[in-house]
Amino acid sequence: MYKNKSIIVIIPARGGSKGISRKNIRFLNQNPLIAYIIKTSKSSKYVDKTIVTTDDEEISNISNIYGVDEIIKRPIGLADDKTTLDPVIYHAYKTYQKQENEKFDIVVTLQPTSPLLTSESLDKAIEKLVDQDYSTIISGIPVRHLFWEKKEKQLQPYHPKRLNRQELEPVFFETGSFVISKTDIITENSRISEPMDIFELDATEAIDIDTYLDWVIADKILSRKKFLIRVDGNNEIGMGHIYNTLILADNLVSHDIIFVMNKNSQLGIQKIAQNNYPIIEIENEKEFFMITEKENPDIVILDILDTGEDFINNILKNNLFVVSFEDLGAALDKADLVFNAIYEFDESSVLKNVFSGYPYVCLRDEFFTLPFKTIDENVKNILITFGGIDQNDLTNLCLDVFEELNRLEIEITIITGLGYQNKDHLLIKIDQMKEKGFKVNFLQDIKFISKHMYDADLVITSNGRTVFEIGSLGVPSISIAQNERETHHTFAQTSEGVLYLGLAEEKTNEKLLKALIDLIDNPDKRRNMNHALSKYDLLNGIRRVIRTIFDRYEKKFPANLLNIS
């Protein structure tokens, strides 16, 4: 009831359907189609009664399971393809009124083919009818397109002037989701009377299932999950976690994604914002726990390295599904899933929730677009790239080594990230080398690094995720660990496709010079490295990760009936 106006919802659902067989009771996502509109009605703040009118016993039984107040048996004469809804709704209302001796002020027709209609929109439409004293409110969406119509076989523009779509006056398309009518205007031939108006729905709520394409779209939307991604990135901790979660988000494009980041991570926030994902900034983890309760996500993604027991327990207490990346803390045995492509765990210590090693590396789409590298006889181009911040300024160290190597015929390409702090000094160094005849190119924060990796005959990089990217292209590389944590990254140390020089220290210059001479002058060794890399299926890692997430989620939260109270 709204403002003393009693309200009844009538859902017409006949058994026959020419477009999609058994449409009204066919399972969409995890429930029969009709269940969704029943939930919409019963979740309304204002609807007093929800009834279904049908000619089909199976529809009757399923509707009762989902809690309708009454089933009205539809006569055979009102159940054929040619019958409009006006006499069906009139019959159902009058029959129920006679049976229960109840009168209503407003009759709402809700179509079972509108599973995405929300109770919030329904309630607002009811408020509009009552507050503005309309006789009828119908659902619709504004359409702004250049339309044409035929008049006496002559094609004529609907709009008098050709304008950009955004400038056109809208034409309203009736969605069929609902018709809200004052009871006194309902007849066997009509549910519409002046004064009337349109209640605008968004495109998602307006979906009306008529074809299999409509069905597929609705099913995809209903199966959407909300992901809350907790990640940080700045000059101190680097940007690797930012890039990793962006890859995940880009591969979950059909789902709702929200990033949660510490306000101190402005470099990472800037990168996420460039990719148009919503961001919630926090000052402490207490705020994060409050956000998880408010947003009520289906899945929480953590890419913040080692977690504490209290931290994980605070998330799990809300019965959420928690996935952590590269976590060696409490999440290792408490989270629902832990992925760690960088650390390869000993088989005897692997928990059932932990998936480790190169099969679970997540690579950006750009690495799928290039073929596997064919090794040339001569090294013509060497790429130097040490990620977002290059905390030990190994880029400059490499240039010192190249000066000593003195191979002027080799072109050197340097790529740094947004967090690189020694750019001014590096550019002075590059100018000095160019004066000596070296060919050095400098690039920063480029969008398509894979092409530069592929074009290189050899890459020098840190011992992080970049070695996987380079390896997926079949390019031989030299890896140097930037810090103690990177010394535990296993791929570069176990793969014969990467020459690992260990932790950066005083003798790194000597090691790098020796490694460069060895690889530049030994094409067979580079070919062997290329062949070794071909044995690793790195490109399908992101698919494995996402498939595992959803498989485990469905095991933890199996399909249930819609929660209809």
pLDDT above 90: residue 455: yes
- Listed residues 201, 221, 241: the one ending a domain: 221
Shared-domain flag, residues 18 and 101: yes
Peptide bond into 195 cis (omega under 30): yes
Asked if the structure places residue 506 within a domain, the reply is: yes
Q: What is the pLDDT at residue 565?
A: 52
Mean pLDDT, rounded, for 552-558: 91
pLDDT in tens, 213-232: 999 999 999 989 999 999 99
Asked if the structure places residue 524 within a domain, the reply is: yes
Mean pLDDT, rounded, for 479-491: 89
Q: What is the pLDDT at residue 157?
A: 72
**44-58, 249-263, 299-313, 335-349: which has the minimum mean pLDDT?**
335-349
pLDDT above 80: residue 146: no
pLDDT in tens, 2-57: 999 999 999 999 887 777 888 999 999 889 999 999 999 999 999 999 999 999 99
Q: What is the pLDDT at residue 560?
A: 64
Which of 255, 265, 195 has its CA nearest to residue 225?
Answer: 255
pLDDT above 80: residue 424: yes
Number of neighbours of residue 73 by Cβ within 10 angstroms: 14
Shared-domain flag, residues 415 and 528: yes
Asked if the structure places residue 161 within a domain, the reply is: yes
pLDDT above 70: residue 553: yes
Six token digits for residue 125 = 């439409």
To the nearest 10°, the Cα dihedral for 21, 22, 23, 29?
-110
- CA gap 136, 182 in Å, rounded: 7
Six token digits for residue 321 = 């599904």
Which range among 88-102, 121-135, 144-158, 478-492 has the greatest average pLDDT? 121-135
Number of domains in the chain: 3
Q: What is the pLDDT at residue 133?
A: 95
Give how far Cα 368 sits from Cα of 48, 323, 362, 389, 410, Å.
Answer: 56, 25, 12, 26, 28
pLDDT category at 418 given cuts 50, 70, 90 is: confident
Q: What is the CATH number of the domain that holds 511?
A: 3.40.50.2000
Asked if the structure places residue 446 within a domain, the reply is: yes
Q: What is the pLDDT at residue 464?
A: 87
Asked if the structure places residue 186 within a domain, the reply is: yes
- Listed residues 319, 339, 360: the one ending a domain: 360
**3-class DSSP state of 379:** coil
Shared-domain flag, residues 196 and 307: no
Shared-domain flag, residues 182 and 326: no
| Mean pLDDT of all residues belonging to the chain | 90
Structural domain of 529: 371-533
- CA gap 136, 465 in Å, rounded: 60
Percent of the chain with pLDDT over 70: 95
Asked if the structure places residue 563 within a domain, the reply is: no
Percent of the chain with pLDDT over 90: 68
pLDDT above 60: residue 347: no
pLDDT above 90: residue 127: yes
- CA gap 265, 368 in Å, rounded: 30
Asked if the structure places residue 539 within a domain, the reply is: no
Phi-psi region of 564 (alpha: psi -120 to 50; beta: other; left: phi over 0): beta
Which of 196, 225, 221 has its CA nearest to residue 207?
Answer: 221
- CA gap 394, 114 in Å, rounded: 59
Number of neighbours of residue 494 by Cβ within 10 angstroms: 13
Please indicate whether residue 239 or residue 10 has the higher confidence score (pLDDT).
10
pLDDT in tens, 281-295: 999 999 999 999 999
**3-class DSSP state of 538:** coil
- Listed residues 171, 192, 221: the one ending a domain: 221
Which range among 96-105, 203-212, 453-462 has the greatest average pLDDT? 453-462
Question: Per DSSP, what are the bridge partners of residue 156?
Answer: 149
Mean pLDDT, rounded, for 417-423: 82
Shared-domain flag, residues 147 and 256: no
pLDDT category at 317 given cuts 50, 70, 90 is: confident
Shared-domain flag, residues 326 and 440: no
Shared-domain flag, residues 314 and 379: no
Shared-domain flag, residues 320 and 455: no
- Identify whether the C-beta of residue 534 lies closer than 8 Å to the C-beta of residue 511: no
Concatenated DSSP letters for 213-277?
Answer: HHHHHHHHHHT--EEEEEE--BTTTBSHHHHHHHHHHHTTTTSEEEEEEETT-HHHHHHHHHTT-
pLDDT category at 106 given cuts 50, 70, 90 is: very high
- CA gap 339, 316 in Å, rounded: 18
Mean pLDDT, rounded, for 370-389: 92
Shared-domain flag, residues 210 and 278: no
Asked if the structure places residue 435 within a domain, the reply is: yes
Q: What is the pLDDT at residue 563?
A: 65
Shared-domain flag, residues 274 and 293: yes
Shared-domain flag, residues 96 and 127: yes
Shared-domain flag, residues 286 and 387: no
**3-class DSSP state of 346:** coil
pLDDT category at 349 given cuts 50, 70, 90 is: low
Q: What is the CATH number of the domain that holds 173?
A: 3.90.550.10
Q: What is the CATH number of the domain that holds 268?
A: 3.40.50.11190
